Amino acid sequence: MALAIFDLDNTLLAGDSDYLWGKFLVDRGEVDGEVYESTNRRFYDDYKAGRLDIYAFLKFSMEPLTRLTTDRLAELHNQYMREIIQPLVSADALALVDKHRQRGDTLLIITATNHFITAPIATVFGIEHLLATDPEIIDGRYTGNVAGTPCYQDGKVIRLQAWLAEHDQNLDGSWFYSDSHNDLPLLTKVDHPIVVDPDDTLRQHAQDQGWPLLHLHNDE
């Protein structure tokens, strides 16, 4: 039994759940539309270019969590799941996860997107283990700060190493599926790196290394 690790955004999902959550908040009038949308887009462009200031982005993206009540957040997230996320879950992605499940592999999602957004999405895929960026919670309320290491770039490796030690697991025979060059630190650690509809930088790296390329979300 090996570990099968999946990135979430633009890998298992045919879209970016973090960016789309921001757009969803704008569309519902929960944040200042013009200012929030432009800033959200700028951070997303920085992410794709590999120059994202993760702490600045998390301060921005988690700020709405501090202003909305628990009940309102739950209501919004339920609507977000129905309207935005469910259409992004493809049969091919579900089949990929199920293939590893049938093999008896341990399934794990690892994502930079925060735990509030991603925990219900992991449930859709039937994946119990989730490593995501953790928002700080004090007295039942989000503070807007990060708890621990953000699950981004080298941070994914740090978080995974801690998880492996905690669960008495290792990377022997491990798989990791990702679309982004931001995940190269982890892709180079596993036995079976698989690139999924990759960005141009990761596509070139995969070709140079002879890594397999998988299409889940387009017709290439």
Q: What pLDDT score does 180 carry?
A: 97
3-14+90-214 fold: Rossmann fold (3.40.50)
Beta-bridged to residue 131, according to DSSP, are: 110
CA distance 11 to 191: 18
17-86 fold: de novo design (two linked rop proteins) (1.20.1440)
Q: What pLDDT score does 218 carry?
A: 63
Q: What pLDDT score does 34 carry?
A: 81
Q: In the block, which residue shows the tokens 């017709």?
A: 219
CA distance 98 to 100: 5
Q: What pLDDT score does 220 carry?
A: 41
Q: Kindly give the residue spans of alpha helices, DSSP state H, lying in the chain.
A: 17-27, 33-49, 54-67, 70-80, 91-103, 115-124, 154-166, 184-187, 200-209
Considering the entire predicted model, what is its pTM? 0.95
State the DSSP string of 194-219.
EEES--HHHHHHHHHHT--EE-SSS-
Which residues of the chain are in CATH 1.20.1440.100 domains? 17-86
Q: What pLDDT score does 35 carry?
A: 86
Main-chain phi, psi angles of 196, to 5 degrees: -120, 115
Catalytic residues: 7, 9
Q: Give the pairing of strands 129-138 and 213-214.
A: unpaired
Which residues of the chain are in CATH 3.40.50.1000 domains? 3-14+90-214
CA distance 29 to 52: 26
Tokens of 133: 């960026």
Q: What pLDDT score does 39 carry?
A: 93
Over its C-alpha atoms, the chain yields an Rg (Å, rounded) of 17
| Per-residue pLDDT tens digits of the chain, which is 220 residues long | 899 999 999 999 999 999 999 999 999 999 888 889 899 999 999 998 999 999 999 999 999 999 988 999 999 999 999 999 999 999 999 999 999 999 999 999 999 999 999 999 999 999 999 999 999 999 989 999 999 999 999 999 999 999 999 999 999 999 999 999 999 999 999 999 999 999 999 999 999 999 999 999 865 4
Q: What pLDDT score does 32 carry?
A: 84
* Cβ-proximal residues to 1 (8 Å cutoff; 6+ apart), any chain: 103, 104, 105, 106
